[in-house]
Amino acid sequence: MVEAYCVKCKKKNQKMVDPVINQTAKGGYMAKGKCPDCPTTMCAMMSKENADKAIAAGAKKNF
């Protein structure tokens, strides 16, 4: 699934809970989800290839 850094826990490579893939205004891709350890919203920028892989793995598509 999608991995990101949690700024509250200070932990790297945390797997997001319920990730949603969005497309930015400039055409990039971004995943937003919740941290599994705390209720903080996590965000990760990604390429189109990684976004497609995340959607295939079960992330929601929001574009």
Domain count, the chain: 1
pLDDT in the model for residue 31: 96
Dihedral-angle region of residue 25 (phi above 0 means left; psi in -120 to 50 means alpha; beta otherwise):
alpha
pLDDT at 1 over 90: no
List, for residues 8-27, the tens digit of each pLDDT value.
999 999 999 999 999 999 99
CA nearest 29: which of 18, 20, 41, 16?
20
Domain that holds residue 57: 3-61
Q: pLDDT for 14-63, tens place per residue?
A: 999 999 999 999 999 999 999 999 989 999 999 999 999 999 999 999 98
User: Pairing mode, if any, of strands 3-6 and 41-46?
Assistant: unpaired
